[in-house]
A and B are shown apart, each in its own frame.
Chain A
């Protein structure tokens, strides 16, 4: 039976298991207020709404028809944290969900100019990019500061150099 936050009745993106539905709704409204605040910025609010929409689709196992895992809750929370750190000056990333349940942000500029970051629940970021004839991939820990290498590669893909 579908749940309030998607098709999976046990999926709660806020991780507060054991609370009533009214409590969940209160938390979502409060969180939604913070997420939509001037501090958060209009661009990020749009991205966050897209994230919620995608969660609706990917909250159950096999959401892609090929055995994908449902969205990982800790990955969702880390994705929100990642979004908070993103400079407002950057273009809106596209959001995708990977078969392991992790959420990814993608910046697409043009053919063979694309960069993506996957947000794991353990704080590890897996990234990869195509920059014309060049390509790269790697991992970086997402601690208290936004990884410079991620920011550098976002700028790299957006600039025609």
Chain B
């Protein structure tokens, strides 16, 4: 049963609600060790790391969200390999903040990154340590 994803966006963040970072690059995870690599959490130049709030979504709906809002918006064809899942409490523990801008619906940015690259790497390592890797295996494969 489809959940109306448009009705969810609430500004209040719950510490243990699930956040998903969709993975389109093989260098962002290790299927051998079943882990997320820190590079999945290195922010882009604008220092806003994009994640989606996936509470109350089924697995199928989460993958559809990733296809719609990340894969289909990429300028060149991409493959959705999986997602890294973490919780807002982890973001707080490493000194960052979660800003739910809901643009698109359910979207949030992890902000508050330092300017120093090595410090950013260390924070990304810690986020990756607490993240769970969920690989996407399409029914057609």
Which residues of A are at the interface with B, using a C-beta cutoff of 8 A? 7, 54, 57-58, 60, 62-69, 94-100, 104, 106, 108, 111-112, 114, 116, 118, 126-130, 135-139
Contact = CB atoms under 8 A, between A and B. Distances in A.
B129 A99 contact: no
Interface in B82-126: 116-119, 121-122, 124-126
B44 A99 contact: yes
Contact of B44 (A68, A108, A126, A138): A68
B71 interface: yes
Given A128-B118, A137-B119, 11 more contacts: A60-B76, A65-B24, A65-B25, A66-B44, A96-B28, A98-B42, A99-B39, A99-B42, A114-B125, A130-B125, A137-B116
Given A96-B37, A99-B45, A104-B39, A64 B121 contact: no
Main secondary structure of the interface of B (DSSP, over half): mixed
A39 to B, nearest CB: 28
B68 interface: no
A69 to B, nearest CB: 8
Chain B: interface size category = 35 or more
A62 B118 contact: no
Contacts of B122: 128-130, 135-137
A150 to B, nearest CB: 12
B140 interface: no
Given A65-B70, A116-B38, A130-B129, A57 B121 contact: no
Contacts of A57: 25-27
A131 to B, nearest CB: 11
A123 B7 CA distance: 50
Contacts of A136: 122
